[in-house]
Amino acid sequence: MTSFQSGRPQAPTLRPAMGPSRTTPGRYNEDMEQLIFRMHQMLIDELDADQISAMPADERRKVVEQAAETLLRREMPGVGGITRDQIVSRVVDEVVGLGPIDALMRDPSISEVMVNRPDEVYFEREGILYLSDVRFRDDQHIARVIERIIAPIGRRVDESSPMVDARLPDGSRVNVVIPPVAPKSPTITIRKFRADKLQMNDLVNASTITEDMVEFLKACVQVKLNILISGGTGTGKTTFLNALSAYIPETERIITIEDPVEIKMQQPHIVSLEARPANIDGRGEVSQRDLLRNTLRMRPDRIIIGEIRGQEAFDMLNAMNTGHEGSMSTVHANSPRDGLARVENMVLMAGLELPDRAIREQVASALHLIVQLSRFTDGVRRVTHVTEVSGMEGQIITLQDLFRFQQTGVSPEGKIEGLMSPTGIRPTFTEQFEQSGIKLPDGLFLARAR
């Protein structure tokens, strides 16, 4: 169970998630959990639920905290000190928060929270998974937290619809799976929303990218090249897109299309559009493709699609080829070549029955650059390739790596060692930099001796 002092969460006990290791036995205090459960039930009976729910979040938490302290003094006058603070904080989490995982959600160093079953809750910090000391009482306890997440947004989850995506009020992304699809227990996966906006300098300091590559990508954004950010799950694609978008001039009208909203643009003229699933009756769905088609009638200077997932790929390529340069998006893929194959397959999903060569020509003329991200075993997310889409050769789209990460070893501490360096190939679009008055560092593309 996460420890507290003066109502503030302390760092949970850390244990890297390696193999079947378990949290230290005895940390889960069943008597304490039963007390918290009883106080929770008593508070529900004493408080006006409608009045509490209508309050702002900060005020709601304060009112419930005062009520919990009063109830604890009345029911258990002998409890005091840290134990009292701990009980009150946990009860408040049960009434107005996300129960046992609320402390993890408040920890700014944690990026993801994963509930696998009542006695198995993991979290991610700096790219590493840890098994926490947090516990739920049983499956019903998890189900109650799930209901608290999805009820305010009108979603449902039951045997006929056992999976749901949702978003917390702070923007955190939630995925829920319940039995029978998850036969052992209901599961909750929360990708936390970062309130701060990472800049490229932060990514340089985190060893994600080099300063030379930042200068190059900044120039690519300024001359309105179409950029695809590729990477596997959890590699930081959206974070990188956010940071890269900072180089879009403030004079441009930017329209973002997402499902769900995650991009935090830093320009003043932004229109954010969000896809919507069908309602309980199967009506009212608004897909990313619907939004993209409508976007073309909204006079965008740039179109940013959070992630290409399906048929909207065809419309995106059309937009890039018909005057909407400087667009950006992300795609789930493990290499630049794989990213192109994914886009090609998604165009086929549009059902237009285009020949393969026509699709590839469309892709090759629309996309200029692919930035590949990977998460390494040390938890660091790195750019591994910056690759130009240089054209067609026969039936094949030609690619050429401009920058590439080469791993050289692993330090005694488990840190990946390597070098991100130019390959010696100059991109075919360097004339656009000169025409725009952009001067890149001398020798930027020169291969370096290893």
Domains of the chain: 4-191 (3.30.450.380), 200-435 (3.40.50.300)
User: Over 90: is that where the pLDDT of 8 sits?
Assistant: no
Confidence at residue 25, expressed as pLDDT on a 0 to 100 scale: 33
Confidence at residue 281, expressed as pLDDT on a 0 to 100 scale: 73
Confidence at residue 354, expressed as pLDDT on a 0 to 100 scale: 86
| Interval 32-48: pLDDT, tens | 777 777 777 777 777 76
User: Over 90: is that where the pLDDT of 393 sits?
Assistant: yes
User: Over 70: is that where the pLDDT of 64 sits?
Assistant: yes
Write out the E strands in 333-395. 369-375, 381-393
| pLDDT, averaged across the chain | 86
Using CA atoms, how far apart are residues 235 and 375, in angstroms rounded to an integer? 5
Closest to 387 measured CA to CA, from 443, 320, 447, 336: 336
| Interval 172-229: pLDDT, tens | 889 999 999 999 999 999 999 876 767 999 999 999 999 999 999 999 999 999 999 9
Q: Is the pTM of this model over 0.85?
A: no
Using CA atoms, how far apart are residues 264 and 246, in angstroms rounded to an integer? 10
Place 86 in a pLDDT band, splitting at 50, 70 and 90.
confident
Pick from 32-41, 249-258, 267-276, 346-355: least confident: 32-41
Pick from 76-90, 300-314, 406-420: least confident: 76-90
Place 6 in a pLDDT band, splitting at 50, 70 and 90.
very low
The answer to whether the beta carbons of residues 67 and 46 sit under 8 Å apart is: yes
- Can you give the three-state secondary structure of 250-267, one letter per residue? CCCCEEEEECCCCCCCCC
User: Over 60: is that where the pLDDT of 242 sits?
Assistant: yes
Place 2 in a pLDDT band, splitting at 50, 70 and 90.
very low
Closest to 333 measured CA to CA, from 315, 313, 311, 307: 307
